[in-house]
A = this chain, B = another copy of it.
């Protein structure tokens, strides 16, 4: 594809551009790995020096004179936009489309007679769809997925291979459930009695609203009563655990290996970094950010940035972490003064 063709296809977001001989571009690459024929991007001045050495043919820049001059100096075709990373993501789609099987039902799939399937559905080999399942239009179910009775799936949702949807699961439109994820399994509920653990049957629902994405091998449980709900457009990475009865707001992002205990309530647009844990019944206000490996044991106000285990406001955490390394000195002084 000629650079000018790319410009045309992405036209709406481009501010300025410069063409040097209209190079052929046939792949996307990072600045460091780019070879001839690659289009790449630079997000900030920090990486500007790499423009001198990159072998790329074209580059997406922010509207920055210095970077433009660097790119011009290196003979790169360039364009500018306010969000280079976004435009790069759009450019990837010009060169790559992830695998999507044709619509149709593989003969080895086992589908209950009363299951309802929409138009243009793809059902892969060895898929099992139980009784009373309702599947929207343009849904894509990869091989070896199992769907328990009564599950509802919205339009255009994608289920990757080997994932499992349990009874009492409702999934909206435009969701992606990645391989090995398990949605709507029984919450971990037992009452201690003098005769041991008494199992609480989990009669509630697991509900994923439109545009939710759940990573590989993540688990979202259904509760004893009521619902576990993930609101629209929330994105969840791999190996995350969301326990029975949690409510997660819209537009959140949870990194890998996050764990929410039972009944947690999380507002909209909350970011939880990797391996964060949140204790039972805790509430996290909208827009809060929690750093990696933090442990949240009490409610977090909207917009707060929290770190550490137990978590404290990030500013305090940074101070304390710096002091942490000086504890041996402080302890020496303490011992001296205690004499």
Known: A203-B28, A312-B324. Contact between A178 and B185, CB under 8 A?
yes
Residues 18-52 of chain A: 1 if any B CB is under 8 Å from the residue's CB, otherwise 0?
00000000001110010000000000000000000
The smallest C-beta distance from A100 to any residue of chain B, in angstroms, reads 10
Taking a contact as CB atoms under 8 Å apart, the answer to whether B330 and A320 are in contact is no
Contacts of A125 in B (CB 8 A): 110, 126, 128
Interface residues of A (CB under 8 A from B): 28-30, 33, 83, 85-86, 89-90, 92-93, 95-99, 106, 108, 110, 124-126, 128, 130, 142-144, 146, 148-149, 160-164, 166-167, 178-180, 182, 185-186, 188-191, 193, 196-203, 211, 213, 215-217, 219, 221, 224-226, 233, 235, 237-239, 241, 243, 251, 253, 255-257, 259, 261, 274-275, 277, 279, 292-293, 295, 297, 309-310, 312, 316, 319-321, 323-331, 333-334, 337-338
Taking a contact as CB atoms under 8 Å apart, the answer to whether A333 and B324 are in contact is no
Taking a contact as CB atoms under 8 Å apart, the answer to whether B217 and A92 are in contact is no
Known: A164-B160, A191-B86, A235-B197. Contact between A128 and B110, CB under 8 A?
no
The smallest C-beta distance from A95 to any residue of chain B, in angstroms, reads 7
Contacts of A309 in B (CB 8 A): 293, 309
Taking a contact as CB atoms under 8 Å apart, the answer to whether A188 and B337 are in contact is no
Taking a contact as CB atoms under 8 Å apart, the answer to whether A238 and B238 are in contact is no
Known: A86-B191, A182-B178, A185-B178. Contact between A328 and B324, CB under 8 A?
no
Query: What are the 8 tightest A-B residue pairs by CB atom distance, in nearest-first order?
Result: A96-B203, A146-B161, A128-B143, A110-B125, A164-B179, A241-B256, A182-B216, A188-B237
Q: Can you show 30 pairs from A to B with CB atoms below 8 A apart?
A: A29-B226, A33-B225, A83-B191, A83-B193, A85-B191, A86-B198, A89-B191, A99-B167, A108-B110, A124-B128, A162-B163, A162-B182, A178-B186, A179-B185, A180-B180, A197-B233, A217-B219, A219-B256, A238-B241, A241-B256, A241-B257, A243-B256, A255-B261, A257-B277, A261-B274, A277-B292, A279-B292, A293-B293, A312-B325, A330-B330
Taking a contact as CB atoms under 8 Å apart, the answer to whether A144 and B146 are in contact is yes
Name A95's contact: one of B124, B200, B203 (CB within 8 Å).
Answer: B203
Taking a contact as CB atoms under 8 Å apart, the answer to whether B320 and A310 are in contact is no
Contacts of A274 in B (CB 8 A): 241, 259, 261, 277, 279
The smallest C-beta distance from A211 to any residue of chain B, in angstroms, reads 8
Contacts of A312 in B (CB 8 A): 324-325
Taking a contact as CB atoms under 8 Å apart, the answer to whether A146 and B162 are in contact is yes
Contacts of A144 in B (CB 8 A): 126, 128, 144, 146, 162
